[in-house]
């Protein structure tokens, strides 16, 4: 029997149907020599600090840095997860072969490998690696199963990423929370999250510090064409008026007329980030919303695997393109011109060197029926981009006209579309302009001018104001994350910088959502602003390693090198360990002001965040004697978790008084309580403090 493990029940159902495993069992399908089971996302996670050392559950500066000798995994504490894991565990111990059918990406590889590791799978493992969930793709994938060992580097990169995030996130979050927090909430630090926030804060500071200045420009109209003076902006109105008077005394003369024909290259196919950028610009979808919509379209077999960072297709896909286009019947009118001749094998579309595990996001050709509106919109973006990639280039003419009035030089530019080419795909697809969105450059046709011609003109003074830098939108923030903070418009340069981007396409949406959830950033209309809490947090972090987009991008590059087998996971881990050790030493010895975020604490933090937060219950405290955690011992006392060896305990009632949790906490953490009346000591009642002596025994101090 062969056991297939998919990442979702719906995918397992599709695979089971194709393989003939049609008998439904408890947690799996069976038939035709196959058992098809599933996970539903992450079943395992890295162990938490207290899983290694019980005392590490309490947040203490003295324990930092926390660096386990070896990292382990554990099952997530969820009854559904644990029940389904038992099914998987049983099946893999009874089979002849396991086929890993998880999502074909780094995260999917990590999810499945951890499950098999936890289940102590003894069977050999094969890997199903496909880029879409159509029946044809699944059948083809099962005919070309890979050895699991081919993806060991991918798993190593996923493990290195998880361990790196654990090392930095766990230590830095505790470090800054205990050093600079107000005790009411967590100051969250992350390998990707913090430099992303730092970029937003830096932009916010530029905006806050900006002082708008008035300026004046000289303009004139000649033959119904507006020209602008090429001199520097004028800072005083008096000078501008003198310039205007001068212009009125002289005619306008054409000194140069240049018209160049050119081409506007076709838009690239979508990777995930480009799709999220476009959906944010056009429909104001958040990155997370777009990811959910495209993932749903993938699971409905309408598009290929979406969590990709390439805009290219593999060359072996070229023969299939015409068939995919033929099947896209809703776009029949747009596709008809393409099918009248062979599909060109364009280098801007097909390039094996630019494709790693997956190609760009494209339609599968399956008919999109009964889609929710938002999914339909995202599908339309992908479909039109795919069609536009194979249309002719857009031919344009750029015109530059130079002139002068006396000694003052002027300039006007124009643009004319000669042949729309690929722009025809979007001819009837112009959405209403949204607030805060830049208006697309419009066609501006200039008349033909002759050099040396001259005549009257209509000069004027234009008053303007300098504007601050634009705040980030999700679209521009995603681009900044992709290029490690560099402002890049050129597609080729953007491709080169992707290896050094902050985060991965599949994680960036979650990073942005995390910053919103933790109240470090906020959205006003489409614009993203840093909150005062976010600004304070970044100001508190003096270590540039935590804040630098470029350095974080360098870590991402190393993770990609691990994926390619060109860098060692252990080396990466040791670099992170060294950084965490140095960071801990630096912060412990630094002074800084307390950051209060109580008013902005998330209303409903995730379970793991609750577990990370410093709590005030006595059970979360350390034993003052051996540093192991305290436990509630029945209804009589709080005692050390290692009581049989240590022997430390604090009775609920001592010297005739029932102790409050605060008094126990003070006793354990400070060595003594505040003053307590009515303590029974000696022959009567006294007022005094409970304290621990040198042997950690309870005494009364008067």
The DSSP bridge pattern shows strands 472-473 and 698-701 to be unpaired
Residue with tokens 């995202």: 378
Nearest-angstrom CA–CA distance, 187 and 175: 9
Per-residue pLDDT at 432: 35
Angle at 379 between CA 365 and CA 436, to 5 degrees: 155
DSSP character string of 49-67: HHHH-GGGGS--GGG-S--
Q: Which of 28, 151, 305, 567 is catalytic?
A: 305
Exposed, middle or buried by CB within 10 Å (0-12, 13-18, 19+), for 568? middle
What is the CATH number assigned to the segment(s) 214-265+394-465? Answer: 2.70.20.10
Nearest-angstrom CA–CA distance, 479 and 488: 8
- Those residues whose C-beta lies under 8 Å from the C-beta of residue 537, and which sit 6 or more positions away, are 176, 187, 197, 520, 595
- Those residues whose C-beta lies under 8 Å from the C-beta of residue 63, and which sit 6 or more positions away, are 55, 56
Which residues make up the CATH 1.10.460.10 domain(s) of the chain?
A: 161-208+471-600
Asked whether the beta carbons of 402 and 411 are under 8 A apart, the reply is yes
pLDDT for 21-66, tens place per residue? 999 999 999 999 999 999 988 899 999 999 999 999 999 999 999 9
Nearest-angstrom CA–CA distance, 142 and 100: 11
Per-residue pLDDT at 644: 55
Average pLDDT over residues 475-498: 73
pLDDT of 362 over the 90 cut: yes
Q: Bridge partners of 99?
A: 4, 126
Query: Which one of 1.10.460.10, 3.40.50.2300, 1.10.510.10, 1.20.1270.10 gives the CATH number of domain 161-208+471-600?
Result: 1.10.460.10
Per-residue pLDDT at 620: 63
Per-residue pLDDT at 665: 84
Exposed, middle or buried by CB within 10 Å (0-12, 13-18, 19+), for 90? middle
3-state secondary structure 75-123: ECCCHHHHHHHHHHHHHHCCCCEEEEECCCCHHHHHHHHHHHHHCCCCC
Catalytic status, residue 331: no
* pTM for this prediction: 0.75
Kindly report the backbone phi and psi dihedral angles of residue 99, in degrees, each rounded to the nearest multiple of 5, phi listed first. Answer: -115, 115
- Beta-carbon count within 10 A of 145 CB: 16
* Token duo for residue 620: 């979360």
- Beta-carbon count within 10 A of 291 CB: 25
Per-residue pLDDT at 604: 35
What is the CATH number assigned to the segment(s) 272-388? Answer: 1.10.290.10
pLDDT of 611 over the 80 cut: no
**More confident site: 383 or 444:** 383
The kind and range of the H/E element at 599 are: none
Per-residue pLDDT at 694: 66
Q: What percent of the chain has pLDDT over 90?
A: 64
Q: Bridge partners of 215?
A: 464
Q: Mean pLDDT of all residues in the chain?
A: 87
DSSP character string of 118-159: HTT--S-EEE---S--SHHHHHHHHHTPEEGGGGHHHHHHHH
DSSP character string of 166-210: HHHHHHHHHHHHHHHB-SSS-----TTHHHHHHHHHHHHHHHHH-
Which residues make up the CATH 1.10.290.10 domain(s) of the chain?
A: 272-388
Highest-confidence segment of 448-457, 534-543, 678-687 = 448-457
pLDDT of 390 over the 90 cut: yes
**CA torsion sign, 286 to 291 to 296 to 300?**
positive
Q: Bridge partners of 87?
A: none
pLDDT of 612 over the 70 cut: no
CATH class belonging to 2-144: alpha beta
Which residues make up the CATH 2.70.20.10 domain(s) of the chain?
A: 214-265+394-465
Per-residue pLDDT at 105: 85
pLDDT for 211-254, tens place per residue? 999 999 999 999 999 999 999 999 999 999 999 999 999 999 99
Region of poorest pLDDT, from 322-336, 502-516, 635-649 = 635-649
Peptide bond into 65 cis (omega under 30): yes
Average pLDDT over residues 613-617: 42
Q: Bridge partners of 454?
A: 253
DSSP character string of 306-343: -------B-GGGHHHHHHHHHH-GGGHHHHTTGGGSPP
Average pLDDT over residues 189-201: 92
Instruction: Report the b/e string of 152-181 with b at 16+ CB within 10 A.
Output: ebbbbbbbbbbbbbbbbbbbbbbbbbbbbb
pLDDT of 465 over the 90 cut: yes
């Amino acid at each position: 029997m062969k056991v297939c493990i998919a990442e979702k029940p719906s995918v397992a159902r599709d695979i089971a149907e194709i393989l003939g495993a049609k008998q439904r069992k408890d947690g799996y399908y069976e038939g035709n020599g196959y058992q098809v089971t599933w996970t539903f996302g992450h079943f395992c996670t890295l162990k938490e600090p207290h899983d290694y050392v019980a005392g590490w559950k309490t947040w203490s500066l003295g324990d930092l840095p926390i660096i386990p000798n070896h990292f382990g995994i554990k099952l997530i504490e969820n009854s559904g997860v644990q029940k389904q894991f038992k099914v998987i565990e049983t099946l893999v111990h009874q089979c002849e072969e396991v086929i890993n059918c998880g999502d074909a990406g780094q995260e999917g590889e990590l999810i499945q490998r951890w499950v098999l590791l936890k289940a102590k799978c003894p069977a050999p493992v094969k890997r199903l690696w496909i880029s879409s969930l159509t029946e044809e793709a699944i059948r083809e994938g099962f005919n070309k199963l890979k050895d699991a060992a081919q993806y060991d580097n991918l798993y190593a990169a996923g493990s290195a990423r998880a361990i790196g995030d654990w090392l930095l996130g766990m230590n830095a979050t505790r470090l800054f929370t205990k050093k600079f927090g107000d005790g009411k909430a967590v100051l969250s630090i992350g390998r990707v999250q913090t430099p992303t926030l730092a970029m937003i804060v830096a932009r916010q500071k530029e905006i806050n510090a900006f002082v708008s200045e008035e300026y004046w420009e000289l303009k004139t109209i000649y033959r119904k064409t507006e020209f602008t003076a090429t001199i520097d902006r004028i800072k005083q109105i008096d000078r501008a008026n003198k310039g205007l008077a001068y212009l009125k005394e002289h005619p306008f003369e054409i000194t140069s007329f240049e018209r160049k024909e050119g081409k506007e290259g076709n838009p690239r196919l979508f990777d995930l980030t480009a799709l999220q950028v476009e959906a944010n610009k056009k429909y104001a979808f958040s990155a997370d919303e777009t990811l959910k919509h495209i993932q749903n379209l993938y699971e409905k077999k309408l598009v290929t695997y979406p969590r990709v960072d390439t805009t290219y297709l593999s060359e072996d896909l070229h023969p299939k393109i015409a068939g995919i286009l033929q099947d896209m019947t809703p776009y029949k009118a747009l596709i008809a011109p393409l099918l009248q001749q062979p599909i060109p094998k364009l280098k801007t579309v097909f390039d094996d060197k630019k494709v790693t595990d997956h190609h760009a996001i494209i339609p599968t050709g399956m008919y999109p029926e009964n889609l929710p509106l938002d999914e339909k919109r995202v599908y339309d973006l992908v479909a039109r981009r795919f069609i536009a990639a194979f249309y002719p280039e857009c031919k344009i003419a750029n015109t530059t006209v130079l002139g002068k009035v006396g000694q003052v030089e002027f300039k006007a530019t124009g643009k004319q579309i000669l042949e729309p080419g690929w722009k025809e795909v979007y001819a009837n697809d112009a959405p209403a302009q949204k607030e805060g969105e830049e208006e697309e450059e419009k066609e501006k046709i200039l008349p033909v001018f002759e050099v040396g011609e001259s005549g009257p003109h209509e000069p004027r003074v234009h008053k303007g104001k300098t504007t601050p830098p634009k705040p980030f939108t999700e679209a521009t923030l995603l681009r900044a994350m992709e290029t490690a903070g560099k402002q890049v418009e050129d597609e080729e340069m953007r491709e080169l910088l992707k290896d050094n981007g902050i985060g991965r396409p599949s994680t960036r949406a979650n990073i942005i959502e995390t910053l919103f959830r933790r109240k470090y950033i906020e959205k006003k209309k489409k614009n993203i602003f840093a909150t005062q809490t976010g600004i304070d947090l970044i100001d508190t972090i003096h270590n540039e390693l935590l804040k630098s987009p470029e350095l974080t991008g360098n870590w991402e590059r190393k993770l990609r090198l691990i994926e390619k087998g060109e860098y060692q996971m252990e080396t990466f881990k040791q670099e992170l360990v060294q950084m965490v050790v140095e960071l801990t030493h630096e912060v412990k010895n630094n002074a800084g002001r307390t950051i209060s975020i109580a008013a902005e604490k998330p209303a409903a933090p995730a379970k793991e965040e609750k577990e990370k937060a410093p709590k005030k219950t006595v059970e979360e405290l350390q034993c003052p004697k051996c540093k192991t955690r305290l436990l509630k011992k029945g209804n009589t006392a709080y005692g050390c978790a290692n009581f049989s060896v240590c022997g430390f305990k604090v009775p609920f009632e001592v010297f005739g008084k029932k102790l409050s949790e605060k008094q126990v906490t003070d006793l354990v953490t400070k060595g003594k309580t505040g003053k307590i009346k009515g303590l029974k000591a000696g022959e009567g009642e006294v007022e005094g403090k409970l304290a621990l002596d040198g042997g950690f025994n309870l005494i009364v101090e008067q």
